Structure 1
Amino acid sequence: MKAVTLHLLRHGPPLRPGLLLGHTDVAAHDPGCARLLAPAMALDVAGIVTSDLRRARASAEALAQARALPLAVDPRWRELDFGAWGGRAPDAVPQADLARFWDDPDACPPPGGERWSALCHRVGQAIRERDRATLVVTHAGAMRAAVSVLTGLDHRAVWALDLPYGALLSFKVWPGEKPAGQITDLRSGNAP
């Protein structure tokens, strides 16, 4: 079977960075930021997929228009749903509850929020449907879930990945086989 290239691009900074935004739909500070989008302009892809949340969607729309590529909106690429914590600063959440969540996000999800396994499940479904080279503009949590799905790493391992705004992850995905991936810093365009 032929490998499919999958590029995951984290959106630019939201208007208020540092919050547990989750499904809170806020705009990006500068969705068309040339510095963040420039390396994505050179990727060999057949189309662009984006989360439906504005902070990702606006950048995807700018890229699709600039590259004359088809754009699909897929809510499965949303960030983890932080439920009652959505839109709050981490220090505004009960610290014991937050610590339990980081330690075991399946047993201790945010109140009214999403379990880690549910995020991995929906992102895994979205990945399995990719049959051509694609750029996905998404969120750090969804990117970490993709790494977990594609490599078998647990939440502790993937949460240790530094994924700044504009980070780019690239994978070769073989249906039914373990993929090979490469992490690239979008701002420099160079592999670490």
Structure 2
Amino acid sequence: MTDKVVSGRVVHLLRHGPPTQTGLLLGHTDEPAVTDDCPRMLQLARTLPLSGIATSDLVRASAQAASLARHLNLPLSLDARWRELNFGTWDGQAPASVDPEALRSFWNDPEGQAPPGGERWSELRARVSAALTMLRNQTLVVTHAGVMRAALSALTGLDHRAVWAIDLPYRALLSVRIWPEGAGQVVGLRGEDV
């Protein structure tokens, strides 16, 4: 009997470039990116052996993903499960305009203290986990920082405090290997400054 080597799938998560307005609680607010043809993102993507591109349907990610797909001649799929966390009534607001105690409670306990009308941590993790199962090997996903952290949490079992401590600047690239059992391993993390 021979041992079968299982290599898993590698998936690349790329945070979109800066939106036109930074410093806001941009969840489902459809704020465009500064540019939809980011040369640094294209340079990063060209170093990867990609089979396709998936993206959030929000324009700050999808416009850049469409540009990458065009330049790299790769298929593109839009999927709302790659959207950022829904901040509910806080969505699109500056953190300073939100009740500081409510915001602090949310950051400390995103499961029990979700924003009013917003999404709980478990809901974000569940939709991201479902989206991860649909990806082929060497897919690039252009998405959002909260989603990337939820993917890390779902794949590694790290709690929200551990993954929120990871700095994911605009254009950060996170590569993960997903094993058949659903567990993940971080293969690489590269960040870009704004």
Report the TM-score, using the length of structure 2 for normalisation.
0.93
CA shift at 1:177, angstroms? 5.1
Alignment partner, residue 147 of structure 2: 142
Query: Mean Cα displacement is larger for which, 151-160 or 171-180?
Result: 171-180
Alignment partner, residue 27 of structure 1: 32
Matched to 2:110, the amino acid is P
Q: Deviations over 1:138-172 (max 9, x none)?
A: 00000000000111000000000100000000011
2, 15, 19: which one pairs with 1:14? 19
Query: Number of residues paired by the alignment?
Result: 188
Aligned pairs for 1:162-177 within 5 A: 162-176=167-181
> Where in structure 1 do 4 or more consecutive aligned residues deviate above 3 Å?
none
- Aligned partners of 2:133 and 2:180: how far apart in 1? 8
**Structure 2 residue 70 is matched with structure 1 residue 70:** no
* Structure 1 unaligned regions, length at least 5: none
Is the Cα–Cα contact under 8 Å of residues 23 and 86 in structure 1 kept in the other structure?
Answer: yes
- Aligned partners of 2:35 and 2:187: how far apart in 1? 26
Matched to 2:146, the amino acid is G
- Aligned partners of 2:85 and 2:42: how far apart in 1? 23
- Aligned partners of 1:160 and 1:183: how far apart in 2? 17
Aligned pairs for 1:76-155 within 5 A: 76-155=81-160
Alignment partner, residue 36 of structure 1: 41
Is the Cα–Cα contact under 8 Å of residues 169 and 192 in structure 2 kept in the other structure?
Answer: no
**Equivalent residue of 2:128, what SS?**
helix
Matched to 1:86, the amino acid is D
Q: Identity of counterpart residues, as a percentage?
A: 54
Alignment partner, residue 51 of structure 1: 56
Report the TM-score, using the length of structure 1 for normalisation.
0.94
Larger radius of gyration: 2
Is the Cα–Cα contact under 8 Å of residues 39 and 186 in structure 1 kept in the other structure?
Answer: no
Matched to 2:155, the amino acid is L
Is the Cα–Cα contact under 8 Å of residues 11 and 139 in structure 2 kept in the other structure?
Answer: yes
Alignment partner, residue 3 of structure 2: none
Query: Mean Cα displacement is larger for which, 29-38 or 51-60?
Result: 29-38
**Equivalent residue of 1:117, what SS?**
helix
Alignment partner, residue 187 of structure 1: 192
* Structure 2 unaligned regions, length at least 5: 1-5
Is the Cα–Cα contact under 8 Å of residues 51 and 136 in structure 2 kept in the other structure?
Answer: no
**Equivalent residue of 1:43, what SS?**
coil
